[in-house]
Amino acid sequence: MGDQPGYAVDLYYEVRQDPKEGPMLHFRMEGEVGGKRFEEEFEMHRDTAFNFAAVATRIAARHGLPTNHSLIMRAHDEYDRMFEDIREKLGAHSGESVNLDHLEKDGL
């Protein structure tokens, strides 16, 4: 393992309906990095939810995981399955527009 801290991270998600913002993807991220437990929650708008890996990586870095150690590899099968599941849960389709205000609100 070298200089990399040991880690175990789980990411749970579900669609929630916000009366003002519409469908939101709610995430709960919990785990352990270098022997220290953490749990954080965040939400993303329907149109920006597919950038969840960027937010999750920042959270993991805040808790001690080096930024060069990717939680979710873009070519990884698990990421692909999660991406498709999110797309299905949100009823999203390729090519839909993104509200630029949502990028800032969602920490992107």
Q: What is the pLDDT along the chain (108 residues), one digit of tens a residue?
A: 556 778 888 999 999 999 999 999 999 999 999 999 999 999 999 999 988 988 998 999 999 988 776 666 545 788 888 889 999 999 988 888 889 899 989 888
The DSSP result for 17-73, as a single string, is: EETTTEEEEEEEEEEEETTEEEEEEEEEETTTGGGHHHHHHHHHHHTT--TTS-SS-
Q: pTM here?
A: 0.84
Domains of the chain, earliest start first: 7-94 (3.30.160.370)
